Structures are given as structure tokens and as C-alpha cells.
Amino acid sequence: MHAFRSHTCADLSAANAGETVRLAGWVHRVRDHGGVLFIDLRDHYGMTQVLCDGDSAAFKAMEKVRSEWVIRIDGTVKLRDASLINPKIPTGEIEVYVRDIEILGEAEELPLPVFGELDYPEETRLAYRFLDLRRESLHDNMILRSNVVKSMRKRMWEAEFNEFQTPIITASSPEGARDFLVPSRLHPGKFYALPQAPQQFKQLIMVGGFDKYFQIAPCFRDEDPRADRSPTDFYQLDVEMSFVEQEDIFNTMQPVLQGVFEEFADGRTVDPVWPRIPYAESMLKYGSDKPDLRNPIEMQVVSDHFRDSGFAIFAKLLEQEGTEIRAIPAPTGGSRKFCDRMNKFAQEQGLPGMGYIFWRKAEDGSGLEGAGPLAKNIGPERTEAIRQQLGLGEGDAAFFLGGAPASFEAVAGRARNVIGEELGLTDKSQFKFAWVVDFPMYEADDEGKIDFSHNPFSMPQGGTDALDGDPLQVKGYQYDLACNGYEILSGAIRNHKLDIMYRAFEIAGYGKDEVEKRFGGMVKAFKYGAPPHGGCAAGIDRIVMILADTANIREVIMFPMNQRAEDLMMGAPSEPMNEQLRELRLRVLPKED
């Protein structure tokens, strides 16, 4: 017999009755029934109930066992009485009578429970992640992650892609986030960088003549943490293809990702229709470039109804150039209590408030009337015109925000999500996708400085001619894929022509010399015949987070950092030893007061 087990804790059934078996695992729970000891023995695969009484030679040793000890038992498989069968587990028809036991690993008193799904401080959970991983839900999440990656790989190979690995130590490049720098011992004063993404390398693979590349790629970015983003590193399904247009990328990736979501949907449905939504339209209708289409609410511009109206705040606002009023319809939200709650929400988001109108039966029985301060100010005709435009009826409401869109769009998008959630309009039983396209190539900061708004290696729509006009009007062949309110994929058709590339970077403030210094490998490669190519990257952590139905990405990463980018288990980041600093010719400056 094997030194530790003949079966796993999920293998045994009624068919094994009478057999002598060996099991090993963790003591999940101990129950003393007056001279008979029961132990739920757990391993990676499942649970088996084992027991012994005073007649067993193992009884005295069994009495010492505590939760989370690791043990090996030998025993005989017995059928449970019909009244004691546990249909919830595969081994519920049997139990194992223990005749011998070996303690393989004792456990001290646990700093956090692993039995059940108790709400425990995250800092403790991360410091003892190896214990936290024993909890059923977290353990299941990690298996889900493994299976999702396996499914992705299988589907990419079936689509005739080749998997290649790209370097982890490389040069720094501007790709939208801060690099993690690595000092060079052999070249004092110089630094490598951990790749924010394999962007340049995968493009060079296309120049190298390979047609379809993919990789389960680690990426490293020194970012501020969010619930749906790791502050240090993450994994993505990285893809690149030659001789393709934007639609080819869509047609390739939809079957892969739709198949993955269908495989792990767990009773939820996957909408097969993936609309293409221009960025500007997405921001107008949903207040976001990652719209949650499970929520049917679409915002609309209603400026004309408030122009020269009795509501002076909006009327004066509209006299300013570049301003507008948008309405957020709220079907079934027509109560003053709900409207006041949403107004408070807007104030909590940093806005003065959010105007509203709700519709009810007119007191004279003549039809519907608008209620609320806004309705009184603009009058019944304008109120009715708004209702007609928004397609609302009795018991419905609408909320209004105004100004330059950039000043309120994000809050409007969040308000739309809250309204959909609170009114039960958002369908939680499905996955809905949308390709968001036609992203602006550039953006301007508060001082008017132009920079790339998305991937700097994207091909501008219209080529060189488009770059001769207003940079803020240039659109790129750039696209994101949104699912249930999250961005899960981003990509672009690449700029493979050096003259357009130089011009595109020049607009963002990078001269030709700077481009050649930062992207020397790519510049050199493009001089020797670069094919048209494009690709994308899908965030594995975020996809698994959505499939696992959790809003915290740390719940699907094996060993995540905390919100301050600290590894509480391993003690990172840590202070270097003086010998290390001397070898690298580095000095750490004292903290500024």
C-alpha cells in the first residue's frame, strides 16, 4: 500500500464496502459521541467521515487529534445506516472505521477559522493566506481559475494559435502605468523594467513571420490598487495576429471568450449578441466606457427641454459652450423617498445634487402629472415632453445632471448602476458583452498637454491625414470588451508604419530621437518589412472574478497583495541589505518629513 493513501477523500463509495483503505488529509472537524470519535477528514478532493471507538488500537491517538492536524489513517470501509447517509457529499454512503493512525503534522491554535465562510479581517487572511486557501469558497475559486486558464489554452490551440513566452526582464517603456524597475549589477546606474505587458515583443513576433501568437502572460504595473485590479502584477491572455483588421480580432476572440463563459456560467446565460458601441455613444448612454448592459437604462440628452426654462440653474448652465443636460430614466423609481435617496447619492459623489421628476396620476384625474421641484419650475408642457422622450409612465422617475459632460459623466454612470440595482432592473442571471470601439487616440490634461489616451502603438483611423488636424478628434483602431460593467479585454490594430508612428508620437510630445531611444527594437524591425497586425489582451484575474461572482479580485488570486501593495505573508516589500546596495551601487535616501 502507498505510504500515505490508497484513495483520496472523495473516492470511496458503497462499492468499496469491506475494503481496507488508507486515507490522508486534514482534520476538518472532530466530534466526540460518548466513546465514539468521528472525524471529517478533508483533502483537496473532498471529505470522508472516519470513526473509531474504544475497541480500536487507534483510539488513544485519535483522542489527541485537533482541527487542521494532518493525519494518515488505515481502516475498513463500512456502509452507513440508511438514516445517516449524507447526500451532500460523494462519500456520504460510507464511513471508515479506523484501525491505525499516524500524525503527519500537528497544528497550533489557528489565527483564523478555515471551517465555514466567516467574515474575517482581510489583513489577517492575507498574512495567513495558506490557511485562508483551505476555506471551501477560496479553494474553489483557485480551481476555477486553473480550469479557466486550461480552457483558454485549449481554445487558442484549437484556433491554430501558437504559444510563445516573452522576456520578464526588459526595457522601460511608456504604456500608461508606472514601471517596476530592476537595478542592474553588471551595468551600474542602469535599470531593467518588468514588462507592463508583452506589447512590443508580441509585435516583433509578428515581424518575425509568425502569424498567430498567444501567451498566458504575467504583467507588472506599479498602480494604485482597486477592488477589481491588482496593484502589482496580473495575468492576461495575450494575443496578436498578422494580416488582420479589427473585425478579424472580434470574430476570433468572441468564440474563445464566449465558450469560456458558457463553460463556467454555473446556471447563468451568456448573451451571444455582442454589439459594437462607439466610445462617444457609450459615454453618453451609460456614462462609462465599460457599460453594464444587463441594466436596460440608457441616458439621453434633454437640453432643449431646459433651455430658456423656469429652472434657472440649468437654463444659465446651457448658455455656456460645451454644456448639456442628461436624463437618467428610472422605471418604477417614482417615489419621493427613492428620489431623495438618489439625490443624496449624488451629493456623496461630490456633486451639489441631482434633480428629479417623478410621474403620478393627476389629482383631477386628467392623466399623469410630474412631481418634484424640477417639474414645478419648468411647467407641465416641458415635463410631459421629457416623459414622452424618455418613454416613461406612471410610477416612473428621471434624474438630471448638467454641465460639461466630463464634469458629471462618471457620477451619472455610477448613478445609472445604482438605480438599476436598487430597482431590480439589472438582470444578475446573465453575462452581457459589448465591444466599445472608436476610442480617441489622444486626451488633454487640465493644462492642455496632449498625451495618448489608450495604447500608444495603435493605428489612427485615417492614417497620416487624420494626424494633421485636431488631435482630440483623432480616433484609433482601438477597442475594449466590456462584460457586466467590467473591462475584460483591450486591444488595437497596430501602427506598423514608421512615418505614421513618428508623427503619432510627435503629437504626444515624443520626438523622433526619443521614440528611437525608447522603442529602438521596434523601430529597427519596422524598417525591414512589418505586416499589418493587431491583437488584444484579456484580463484573466478579472474574468475569473466575474465568473466567481465576487467583486474583490483578491478572492481569485492565489497570493495577492493588500490594498497598500504589501505581501503580509512574505514581508514584501522589504529593506535591502547593505551588501546588496553596495553591489548594485545604490543608496536609499531617508524619508522626507
Q: Give residue-wise pLDDT tens across range 147-185.
A: 999 999 999 999 999 999 999 999 887 666 789 999 999
The C-alpha cell of 388 is what? Answer: 414622452
Position 229 pLDDT exceeds 90: no
More confident site: 353 or 569: 569
CATH no. of 295-426: 3.30.1360.30
Mean pLDDT throughout 415-438?
A: 97
Q: Contact at 8 Å (CB) between 328 and 416?
A: yes
pLDDT of residue 174: 61
72 membership: H or E segment, kind and range: strand 70-79
pLDDT digits 0-9 by tens, 191-226: 999 999 999 999 999 999 999 999 999 999 988 777
Which amino acid makes up residue 589? L
Q: What percent of the chain has pLDDT over 90?
A: 80
Contact 538, 488 (CB under 8 A): yes
In angstroms, the CA 374 to CA 383 distance is 9
33 confidence band (pLDDT: 50, 70, 90): confident
Which range has the worst mean pLDDT, 105-109, 224-228, 262-266, 374-378? 224-228
pLDDT value of residue 482: 98
Q: What is the mean pLDDT of residues 255-273?
A: 97
Alpha-helical segments (H) within 426-555? 463-466, 498-507, 512-518, 520-526, 540-547
Rounded to whole angstroms, the Cα distance separating 135 from 483 reads 28
pLDDT of residue 472: 92
pLDDT band at 500 (very low <50, low <70, confident <90, very high): very high
CA dist 506 and 500 (Å) reads 10
The pLDDT of residue 9 = 97
DSSP string, 116-175: S-----HHHHHHTHHHHTTSHHHHHHHHHHHHHHHHHHHHHHHTT-EE----SSB----S
Neighbours of 285 (CB within 10 A): 18
268 φ/ψ sector (left φ>0, alpha ψ -120 to 50, else beta): beta
Q: For 408-413, what is the mean pLDDT?
A: 94
Q: Give the number of other CB atoms < 10 A from CB of residue 122.
A: 16
Residue 442: per-residue pLDDT: 94
CB of 349 within 8 A of CB of 414?
Answer: yes
40-49, 104-113, 366-375: which range is least confident on average? Answer: 366-375
Q: What is the pLDDT of residue 172?
A: 81
Residue of higher predicted confidence among 120 and 392:
392
Q: What own/partner pairs with CB < 8 Å and gap ≥ 24 does 521-527 have?
A: 521/200, 521/204, 522/200, 522/203, 522/204, 522/457, 523/498, 525/203, 525/204, 525/207, 526/207, 526/496, 526/497, 526/498, 526/501, 527/498
Q: Which residues of 444-455 are buried (b: 16+ CB within 10 A; e: fewer)?
A: eeeeeeebbbbb
Known binding-site residue numbers for L-aspartate: 175, 221, 454, 494
Please state the length of the chain: 593
Asked if the 14-105 domain carries CATH number 2.40.50.140, the reply is yes
Average confidence score pLDDT of the chain: 93
- Return d(Cα 441, Cα 474) in angstroms, integer: 6
Report the pLDDT value the prediction gives residue 175, as an integer from 0 to 100: 60
H or E stretch at 40: strand 36-42
Q: What mean pLDDT comes out for the span 526-543?
A: 97
Taking 3-state DSSP, the helix, strand and coil percentages for the chain, each rounded to the nearest 5, stand at 30, 25, 40
The domain locations on the chain are 14-105, 295-426
Q: What is the mean pLDDT of residues 527-546?
A: 97
When pLDDT is cut at 50, 70 and 90, the band that residue 68 belongs to is: very high
Q: Is the pLDDT of residue 460 over 80?
A: yes
Cell of 9: 477523500
Query: Whole-model pTM?
Result: 0.93
Binding residues for ATP: 221-223, 487, 539-542
The per-residue pLDDT for 362 is: 84
- Distances in whole angstroms, Cα of residue 227 to Cα of each of 222, 421, 481, 551: 15, 19, 19, 7
What is the mean predicted confidence (pLDDT) over 507-531?
92
- 181-185, 344-348, 363-367, 547-551, range with the lowest pLDDT: 363-367
Q: Which residues are annotated as a binding site?
A: 175, 221-223, 454, 487, 494, 539-542
